[in-house]
Amino acid sequence: MKNKLLISSITLGVLTIVTMLSCNNERNEGDVLFESPSSSVQQTSRGNEYGSYSISHPSLYTNIDLPPVVIRVDGRSPFEGTSYDGTYNPGIFNYGFNSRGGDYSLTNHVLGGNNNNNNNNNDGSAYVATTSSPTAAFNILASVTGNMLLHEINRRGVTMQNSGRIVIRAYMYQIRPTISNFYSVVDNLPVGERYDNYRGQNEWVAVDQILPNQIQSVAIYEDTFVNGVREGVIRPVGMEQNNNYVQSGTGYYSYYFPTHDIGITRRSQGYNCQRCEL
C-alpha cells in the first residue's frame, strides 16, 4: 500500500513540475512549487544568450537547444551552516555548485566511482550533474535521502534496525542552464550497451561549476525513516527563492575546456548528432 502511495505522490509531483515549465511554478509533490522565469516557456537557443560565449569541444556535439530549466538534487542547504555530513557549507545560494575534481572524461563521469579516481591527474569529475527530467529528479531524490540516512546512522553509531525515527532533509534546486557551460550527456554518450542505462536520465552537465546567479530557487523535502524503513512518502516542506539569481546573467565559461581530454564520445566514434541545430 505504501508503495502505491509513493508512486501516486511522485506521479502528482511530476505533473506539477511539467505544469511549472509552462506556467509560473516548478517542482514537485503537493503545492510546493518553483517560480518559473518568464522566458522559460520555450527551450533556450544557443544563439539567444546575449554576451555569452558558447561552450564547444572538438569531441562534443554542443549545438543543441538547452531546456529552460534543469534540476539538481543535493543534501546541502541553500544557506550557510553545517551540512548533514558535519562539514561547513557556505550556502548554495551564495557560492553555487562546484565540481569535485578535474576529470573531464564524460564516460568516467557517467560511470562514477573509481572511474574518476583512477585518473592519475584528477580526483573526481569536473562536471556538475543536473537533469531536465522530473522523473529522474525524483529517483535521484530518493537515492540521495537513502544515502544520507546511512551517513546519519553511521554518525550515531547505531544499527539500521535500532536507529529509531530519523528525518532526512534534502533539496531540489531549479537552475537556468546557460550556453556557456552546459551540454547534453545523452547526445554525447558513446554508442554501446554499457551506456544505455544512463540515457533515460536526461542529464545535462555543467563544466566546472554553476554560478549562484543561475540558481532560481529550491524546494525543500523531508524523508522520514523508522528503523531504516521509509515512513509514508517524501514530502515537500517549503521553498526558497534565491535573491542572487539574475535572469539575464551569463554563466561560467572555461576558455580551456576545448583543450581537455574528455575521452570517447559519440562524435569521436564518428556517429552523427541526432538533435543538433542545423
Per-residue pLDDT tens over the stretch 231-255: 999 999 999 999 999 998 888 999 9
Query: What is the rounded distance in angstroms from the CA atom of residue 38 to the CA atom of residue 176?
Result: 12
SS3 label, residue 204: strand
Residue 8 falls inside a structural domain: yes
d(CA 262, CA 58): 10
For cell 562539514, the residue is 87
Per the structure, the complete domain to which residue 186 belongs is given by 2-259
Which segments in the chain show pLDDT lower than 50? 1-42, 47-48, 50-51, 116-117, 278
Cβ atoms of 119 and 103 within 8 Å: the answer is: yes
What is the Cα 3 distance to its own chain's centre? 25
Q: CA 69: distance to chain centroid? A: 11
pLDDT of residue 7: 38
Joined together, the cell numbers standing for residue 268 give 569521436
Q: What is the pLDDT of residue 86?
A: 87
Does a structural domain hold residue 273? no
> What is the rounded distance in angstroms from the CA atom of residue 73 to the CA atom of residue 139?
10
Could you tell me the CATH number of the domain that includes residue 167?
Answer: 3.90.210
117: which DSSP letter? H
End-to-end CA, the chain: 50
Does the residue 266 lie in any domain? Answer: no
Residue 7 domain-assigned? yes
Count of domains in the chain? Answer: 1
Question: What one-letter code names the amino acid at 167?
Answer: V
Kindly report the pTM of this predicted structure.
Answer: 0.81
Whether the CB-CB separation of 234 and 171 falls below 8 Å is answered with no
pLDDT tens digits, 33-73: 333 333 333 455 554 454 468 999 999 999 999 999 999 99
Establish if 154 belongs to a structural domain.
yes
Q: Taking CA 49 as the corner, what is the angle to CA 43 and CA 53, rounded to the nearest 5 degrees?
A: 120
Helix, strand, coil: what percent of the chain each, to 5? 25, 25, 50
Cβ distance 10 to 141 under 8 Å?
no
Query: SS3 of 258, please?
Result: helix
Domain presence at residue 239? yes
